[in-house]
Structure formats: structure tokens, C-alpha cells
Structure 1
Amino acid sequence: MKRKSLQGNPCPVARSLDLIGDWWSLLIIRDALAGTRRFSDFQKSLDVAKNILSARLKNMVAEGVMRLEPAADGSIYKEYVLTEKGKALQPVLIALSQWGNEFMYEPGELGSVMVDTKDRQPLQKLQLVAVDGRSLKPEEITTKFGVAH
């Protein structure tokens, strides 16, 4: 069954999920942010079928989330590198990680935490902040339709 495209949807959440809404795409981006660049390394890390990985990488290149470059070591291989559009997904992954740490683990269960590379301390929890600096609660946020940016 072919999935319905949300590309023309007026909701930015729907459009974003159309591109990166399956778990493999987000895990590929997670690994790329951590420095993974080669197809074989993504495949090994994720233990995903090659056809699925190939399709996701091809789509992310076509959509400008990643680009293919010659291997940094001068070999004949190609490497997948995040573009600025791809790197801009990092806060999404941090938000998912923080939410998962808060709600998906039992007390004392081992997991992972994103930390600052300089002092190795956990990142401050992402917050929704108004233009005037106020921290916002979910009930203080609504949707307004208009020009996207």
C-alpha cells in the first residue's frame, strides 16, 4: 500500500513528517550527527535492510537533507554528509531524546543522555520560549495560518 504524500499539506508538522517521519530516517540523521558517513557504517549501526537504507538515503539526498561526497580518505567510496537542512534537525532529535529519557525508562534503567562535548554535562531541557522570553506551556501555544517564514 502506497503512503499518502503530505507534501502539499498546510501543516509544517505534516510536511516534515512526510520527509523524515519514519524511524529509519530519524535514526540515520542521529547517526550522521554522531559522525557516521558511509553506507556500510549506517547499515552496521542500524541493522537495517540494505534496500530500506538505500531508499531512505536516496530520498534524503534528493530532498537536500544529505549530500554525497567523495570519501574523505581518498578511496573510491562515497560518503553521506548532512547539509545545513539536515543539521537543523538536531533540536528535533534532542527533544525526542529528552522526552524519551523522561517517559520511556523505568527508574534506574540504563540509557543514554546527550551531553555538551566541552564539559560532558547533560543538555538543558529544551523549552518553548516566547519572543519576549517567557517560558510557554502547551496550553499557551496555538496555530496561526499565514506565510510560513
Structure 2
Amino acid sequence: MSRTDLKKFDCSVAQTLGQIGEWWTLLIIRDAFHGIKRFDDFQTHLEISPTVLSARLRSLTRDGILQRQSSETDGRANEYILTEKGLDLHPVLLSLMDWGEKHAPNPAGPRMRLLDKENLQPLPPITVRAADGRALKARDVVVQSGSGSDEKMIALINYRNRQKSQQ
């Protein structure tokens, strides 16, 4: 079965999934946030085939999420470093982690704790906040079409708004 090319969907979620939606890709990005840089280290830690890892690293580099550079300590080796675009995925990974700890927890307890480097206090769960700081749930958000909306997106937004008005 062939995969649908998500680039044909003019939707920010589809465009994001087109770049990072494959599970190995997110795990590679996770490991890069933890300091893994070299092909062999990714392969060892993830237990991923070299073919799949090569393809994912190539995609992440092509899409500007990782940058490939020569190792400072071993000029023959390459390292894969998160770019600014890659670093912008940090809240996405934290949100996935929060969701996983809530809905697929380890019975022994949290898998890791994230602390504020400045004061070593635990980070609060990721939430969407209003301009005044209030935490918002999905039902508290109104969606309007933007200037980049195509007909399909406008139809989706209109469908959502009709459903909300009937509730």
C-alpha cells in the first residue's frame, strides 16, 4: 500500500506530518534533543535498520530539521545537529511526552522528569494559554479561517463551527 503524499493537503497539520509524522522520525528527533549526533549512536540506541535510519536522516536534513556536519573530534564522521527549525519541535515533543505519561503511563512511574535549568523545578504540563494566562481546553477555542485558507480548509472550519453551534 502506498502512502498518500501529504504535501497535496494545504493544512498545517498535514504539512507537519509530511516532515515529521513517521514514528522513526520523531524518535530520531527525540534522541537528537538528548544529544545523540552520530549515525552509529542513533542506530544503536533506536535499534533501527541502517537503511531506514539513512532515509530518515536524509529527509530530516533535506527538510532543514537537522544539519549534517563533519565531527569536530573525528573528521571522517558526520554528526546530525538540530537546526532552529528542529529546536522549534521541542514543545511538540514535550506535548507528546505529557500525553503519553497521562494516557500510556509506566506503572512504575514517570519515565523521566524535566526540570527548569535555572531553578531545578519540575516543568508543568504543556497547555494552551489565553493571552491573559488562562489555561484553555479544546472546547474553549474558536477557529476562524485565515488568509492562507483554501476551500477545503474553509469547509472544515465551517463544519466545526456548525457542530459547535449545535451543541
Decide: shared fold, TM above 0.5: yes
The AA in structure 2 aligned to 1:122 is P
Secondary structure at 1:57 match in 2: helix
Give a deviation string over 1:21-64, Cα, whole Å, max 9, x none: 11111110011011111000000110011111110000010011
The AA in structure 2 aligned to 1:44 is T
Give a deviation string over 1:94-121, Cα, whole Å, max 9, x none: 0111111112125544622323344443
Q: Per residue, is there more helix in 1 or in 2?
A: 2
| 2:32 corresponds to 1:36 | no
| Paired residue total | 148
The AA in structure 2 aligned to 1:105 is P
Whole-angstrom distance in 1 between the partners of 2:74 and 2:108: 45
| 2:130 corresponds to 1:130 | yes
Whole-angstrom distance in 2 between the partners of 1:89 and 1:110: 21
Whole-angstrom distance in 2 between the partners of 1:120 and 1:72: 31
Report what 1:84 is aligned to.
84
- The TM-score, its normalising length taken from structure 1, stands at 0.89
From the CA coordinates, give the structure whose radius of gyration is larger: 2
Deviation at 1:144, TM superposition (A): 2.5
Secondary structure at 1:7 match in 2: helix
Deviation at 1:85, TM superposition (A): 0.4
Whole-angstrom distance in 2 between the partners of 1:67 and 1:26: 16
Give a deviation string over 1:80-100, Cα, whole Å, max 9, x none: 011100010010000111111
Q: 1:146 to 1:110 in 2, by over 3 A?
A: closer
| 2:18 corresponds to 1:5 | no
Conserved? CA contact 2:128–2:135, under 8 Å: yes
Q: Structure 1: give runs of 5+ residues left out of the alignment.
A: none
Q: Structure 2: give runs of 5+ residues left out of the alignment.
A: 149-167
Secondary structure at 2:7 match in 1: coil
Conserved? CA contact 2:101–2:110, under 8 Å: no
- Coordinate RMSD, CA, aligned: 1.8
- The TM-score, its normalising length taken from structure 2, stands at 0.80
